[in-house]
Amino acid sequence: MTFEEASKRVKELTELLERYNYEYYVLNQSSIDDAEFDRLMGELKMLELEYPALQSKNSPTQRVGGEVQSEFKKIPHKRLMLSLGNVFNDDEMRDFDRRLRDILHVDQIRYVGEMKIDGLGMSLIYENGELQYAVTRGDGNMGEDVTSNVITIRSIPAHVKEMRPFEVRGEVYMPKASLESVNIQRSLNGEPEFANCRNAAAGSIRTLDPKVAASRKLEAYWYYLVNSRELGEHIHSNSLDYLDELGFRTNHERRVLNGVEEVIAYMHEYAEKRDSLDYDIDGLVFKVDNLDLYDSLGYTAKEPRWAIAYKFPPKEVSTKLLDIVLTIGRTGRVTPNAILEPVRVAGSTVQRATLNNEDFIKEKGLMIGDIIGLHKAADVIPEVTEPIVSRRDGTQTPWIMPETCPVCGHALTRVKNIHYCLNEDCDSRKIEGMIHFASRNAMDIDGMGESVVEEFFAEGFLHKIPDIFRISDHAEEIKALDGWSDKSMNSLIDAIEVSKTRSLERLLFGLGIKEVGEKLAKTLAKRFKNLDVFKDLKEEDITVIKDVGPVAAKSVVDYFHDEKNLQAIEELREYHVNFDYLGTDTLDVNSYFYGKTIVLTGTLSRYSRDEMTDILEGIGAKVSGSVSKNTDIVIAGPGAGSKLEKAQKLGVEVMDEEEAINHLARTGK
Ligand code: IVH
């Protein structure tokens, strides 16, 4: 083969391989199989070996990663690579649009909405139909020649049909799926994982070994033809279509938007769709579509006026961990909390976050003074994600779990992974106990929240739960406190009065008996009806109840055998706090079932047996387990047996579930 023949064949092979790359990596479809592709690639490799002069840096053979570089050459940008101004919400977007309309003296502007890809800004320079350089943004003025790495991204055309010089800008990024597989590989190799797609893309482009870059499965989208008008294209959206035509990969989520309201609808649409994209976006970019307006709009110090970025609210932010402090709950449970430099995340300012327990802190390796990641779990509860180890500067100090309660000095006890302060007289436990008593799901004392209880405790007006009911003894002193008035004092006294009439289950829950949550409190109240009954209960009286275990039963019995608790109950009695279960306040004398004795049998489908029992008892019926001559009604579902037979024998009224529900519906229950 002569050199000329070889040169011709190299050109043919290059064109073929480029076309197949384009089909596969840009269009996601391919017209040949892998083996044929490999064969052509093999042939090209052989020719390049034989005739090194025929090998160009843009050869398809270089896509797997060429030679290791010693450094990246600095290249000045012909036109500055600017950043974008930001807006964070609808109103700021409307303001941006108004400013532009004022400058242009028009009523409406046509924009192009685009994804703001979270990757690495990149510029490609083409001359004579061939890629010359790929340059990073750098400081906007000067970038680095990373062509050898960028060329490993197969979707980037090495040759194009446009022969005039042009520059195209876009974003190199790592798809979410690639990040996952790269991180799995890195953790297998004992290397630190990449925190996000952007860091991974930046790290991969800045590696000096193109083979490493090639292995990272990077992608790119191209969003701006810099010298569009020189090429005769005056509309941005058309220039993107032209980039498509030249074989560039552009993002097809883009949309031409007429006026700012369409822009805002697009913002809302993509705030929703964001997570379903297979690449990370940190916002959207809106550009004026008519390139001829760009000159009159011009630039601010560092940003073009003809484009704007809408930034999504960050899901994760970083801030400084100033300290870790312990709080002690009413049960004595100790919780470490992060004290943070205040930071806004998902719509509110956060300066505290729970750290759960000692092991949580150890597993994350948190140090005081660390910059940490923070996000909101389920969009509400602030959660520390991890320390950003790369931002440590030597001033960080380790945190050690204290051995004693910071409030009362009592030694802490660790049970499984939780620490407790077992001192029942710990001020913190007492305060938390009263806060719980007054809380919404317990005695619901309006105006007696956390800070009020804390303040009253500090002033010495409150020591224990019954003190709440004699708070009026301190009315004058309280009114003298900052932020208190006759009015607020009176409403607090009223709220305390009202709370005295609450039903037993709220009192039981409010007392803070270990193991007694809202649900068990209700079950117990319903069953035993009055607080005094509890003093004589034995564990077996309680464990007979379905779903109540021995631990809870023992805890209840212990509580009512503790002298201090009995004393508190006596004090509550003196203040006429209601001890009765008032569940019957839903009594409905008009109900068909009111005052009747009812037996449930067979399978109920709409309600469970327990639920139906609750409903019937609530409206004043008695639910019994066996059929006798005292039974008024049997509600029988499928599978009913002997009880139904007996009822029929005794001539007791029988109905099915549907009929029962119809009766209930009539009473509004
Ligand atoms: S246009 C002068 N369009 O965001 C206008 N930028 O904060 C040049 N980016 O440096 C930028 N997606 O790296 C534009 N569709 C998009 C973009 C985008 C991501 C990046 C780009 C730029 C940064 C600005």
In this structure, are residues 159 and 19 in contact, taking their beta carbons and an 8 Å threshold?
Answer: no
Residue 102 structure tokens: 């004022």
Average pLDDT for 123-128: 97
| Nearest CA owner, ligand 1 atom 18 | 116
Q: What percent of the chain has pLDDT over 70?
A: 98
Least confident residue range of 176-190, 357-371, 508-522: 176-190
In this structure, are residues 112 and 255 in contact, taking their beta carbons and an 8 Å threshold?
Answer: yes
Residue 404 structure tokens: 């004693």
Report how far residue 644's alpha carbon sits from residue 203's, in angstroms, rounded to the nearest whole number.
Answer: 76
Pocket probe mutation, ligand 1, options 117, 219, 248, 280, max atoms within 8 Å of Cβ: 117
Q: Which atom of ligand 1 is nearest to the CA of 116?
A: 12
Q: Which atom of ligand 1 is nearest to the CA of 284?
A: 15
Residue 491 structure tokens: 């409403």
Cα 84 off chain centre by = 27
Whole-Å CA distances, 320 to 313, 369, 374, 612: 19, 6, 10, 54
Q: Which atom of ligand 1 is nearest to the CA of 82?
A: 2
| Nearest CA owner, ligand 1 atom 2 | 82
CA of 143 to the centre of ligand 1 (A): 16
Note the pLDDT tens digit of each residue in 374-413. 987 655 788 999 999 989 999 999 999 999 999 999 999 9
Inform me whether the pLDDT recorded for 539 exceeds 50: yes
pLDDT at 668: 47
CA of 228 to the centre of ligand 1 (A): 16
| Nearest CA owner, ligand 1 atom 23 | 83
- Amino acid occupying residue 60: P
Confidence category of residue 591, pLDDT binned at 50, 70, 90: confident
Give the contacts of 314 (CB within 8 A, at least 6 positions apart).
282, 345, 346
Report how far residue 442's alpha carbon sits from residue 435's, in angstroms, rounded to the nearest whole number.
Answer: 10
Report how far residue 553's alpha carbon sits from residue 559's, in angstroms, rounded to the nearest whole number.
Answer: 10
CA of 82 to the centre of ligand 1 (A): 8
pLDDT at 347: 65
Strands 367-368, 597-601: pairing kind: unpaired
| Nearest CA owner, ligand 1 atom 13 | 121
| Nearest CA owner, ligand 1 atom 22 | 83
Note the pLDDT tens digit of each residue in 414-461. 999 999 999 999 999 999 999 999 998 899 999 999 999 999 999 999
Confidence category of residue 488, pLDDT binned at 50, 70, 90: very high
Backbone angles phi, psi at 157, to 5 degrees: -70, 130
| Nearest CA owner, ligand 1 atom 6 | 116
pLDDT at 585: 47
Residue 447 structure tokens: 């105006």
Note the pLDDT tens digit of each residue in 597-629. 999 999 888 777 877 887 888 788 899 989 999
Least confident residue range of 77-91, 470-484, 574-588: 574-588
- Which long-range contacts link 491-495 to residues 24+ away (Cβ below 8 Å)? 491/446, 491/447, 492/445, 492/446, 492/447, 492/448, 492/452, 495/445, 495/446, 495/447, 495/448
pLDDT at 587: 62
Pocket probe mutation, ligand 1, options 240, 285, 289, 310, max atoms within 8 Å of Cβ: 285
DSSP run (H or E) holding 486: helix 486-499
Backbone angles phi, psi at 527, to 5 degrees: -75, -45
Q: Which residue out of 8, 73, 116, 564 is catalytically annotated?
A: 116
Q: Which atom of ligand 1 is nearest to the CA of 304?
A: 2
Report how far residue 430's alpha carbon sits from residue 118's, in angstroms, rounded to the nearest whole number.
Answer: 50
Inform me whether the pLDDT recorded for 197 exceeds 50: yes
Confidence category of residue 669, pLDDT binned at 50, 70, 90: very low
CA of 83 to the centre of ligand 1 (A): 7
Residue 548 structure tokens: 């109540």
Q: Is 45 a catalytic residue?
A: no
Nearest to 245 by CA among 269, 217, 222: 222
Report how far residue 118's alpha carbon sits from residue 423's, in angstroms, rounded to the nearest whole number.
Answer: 52
In this structure, what is the dihedral angle of CA atoms 540, 544, 550, 555, given to the nearest 10 degrees? -70
- Amino acid occupying residue 124: L
pLDDT at 307: 97
Pocket probe mutation, ligand 1, options 83, 84, 122, 219, max atoms within 8 Å of Cβ: 84
Average pLDDT for 16-43: 90
Nearest to 495 by CA among 452, 456, 443, 445: 445
| Nearest CA owner, ligand 1 atom 17 | 116
In this structure, are residues 508 and 497 in contact, taking their beta carbons and an 8 Å threshold?
Answer: no
Residues for the chain: how many in total?
669
Report which DSSP code applies to 515: T
pLDDT at 667: 54
Inform me whether the pLDDT recorded for 232 exceeds 50: yes
Q: Which atom of ligand 1 is nearest to the CA of 81?
A: 2
pLDDT at 63: 87
Whole-Å CA distances, 605 to 255, 321, 579, 616: 51, 53, 35, 16
Note the pLDDT tens digit of each residue in 280-315. 998 999 999 999 999 999 888 778 999 999 998 777
Between residues 410 and 317, the one the model is more confident about: 410
Look at residue 258 and give its three-state secondary structure.
Answer: strand
pLDDT at 586: 57
CA of 321 to the centre of ligand 1 (A): 32
Write the DSSP string, 264-323: HHHHHHHHHHGGGSSS-EEEEEEEESBGGGHHHH-B-SSSBTTEEEEEPPPSEEEEEEEE
Pocket probe mutation, ligand 1, options 81, 86, 116, 282, max atoms within 8 Å of Cβ: 116
Give the contacts of 645 (CB within 8 A, at least 6 positions apart).
none
In this structure, are residues 273 and 235 in contact, taking their beta carbons and an 8 Å threshold?
Answer: no
Rg of the chain over all Cα atoms, to the nearest angstrom: 37
CA of 222 to the centre of ligand 1 (A): 10
Report how far residue 416's alpha carbon sits from residue 46's, in angstroms, rounded to the nearest whole number.
Answer: 66
CA of 117 to the centre of ligand 1 (A): 8
Q: What's the mean per-residue pLDDT of the chain?
A: 92
Residue 282 structure tokens: 């940190």
Q: Which atom of ligand 1 is nearest to the CA of 303?
A: 2
Give the contacts of 222 (CB within 8 A, at least 6 positions apart).
124, 168, 169, 170, 243, 248, 249, 250
CA of 87 to the centre of ligand 1 (A): 14
* Burial class, 446, CB count within 10 angstroms (exposed 0-12 / middle 13-18 / buried 19+): middle
Report how far residue 625's alpha carbon sits from residue 602's, in angstroms, rounded to the nearest whole number.
Answer: 12
Nearest to 225 by CA among 147, 168, 291, 140: 168
Q: Which residues line ligand 1 (CB under 6 A)?
A: 82-84, 114-117, 121, 137, 171, 223-224, 285, 304, 307, 309
Nearest to 338 by CA among 314, 363, 360, 315: 360
- Give pTM, 2 decimals: 0.56
CA of 104 to the centre of ligand 1 (A): 23
Pocket probe mutation, ligand 1, options 86, 118, 223, max atoms within 8 Å of Cβ: 223
| Nearest CA owner, ligand 1 atom 21 | 121
Cite the DSSP H helix spans in 546-585. Answer: 550-559, 563-574
- Amino acid occupying residue 334: V
Q: Which atom of ligand 1 is nearest to the CA of 121?
A: 13
Q: Which atom of ligand 1 is nearest to the CA of 251?
A: 15
In this structure, are residues 81 and 140 in contact, taking their beta carbons and an 8 Å threshold?
Answer: yes
Residue 187 structure tokens: 């953790």
CA of 120 to the centre of ligand 1 (A): 9
Report how far residue 446's alpha carbon sits from residue 499's, in angstroms, rounded to the nearest whole number.
Answer: 9
CA of 116 to the centre of ligand 1 (A): 6
Whole-Å CA distances, 669 to 525, 616, 666: 21, 9, 7
pLDDT at 634: 95
Q: At what angle do helices 34-50 and 3-25 cross, to 10 degrees?
A: 150
Residue 233 structure tokens: 């294209």
pLDDT at 664: 81
Report which DSSP code applies to 545: S
Give the contacts of 664 (CB within 8 A, at least 6 positions apart).
591, 593, 615, 619
pLDDT at 565: 96
Nearest to 286 by CA among 224, 231, 228: 224
Q: At what angle do helices 450-459 and 427-438 cross, to 10 degrees?
A: 130
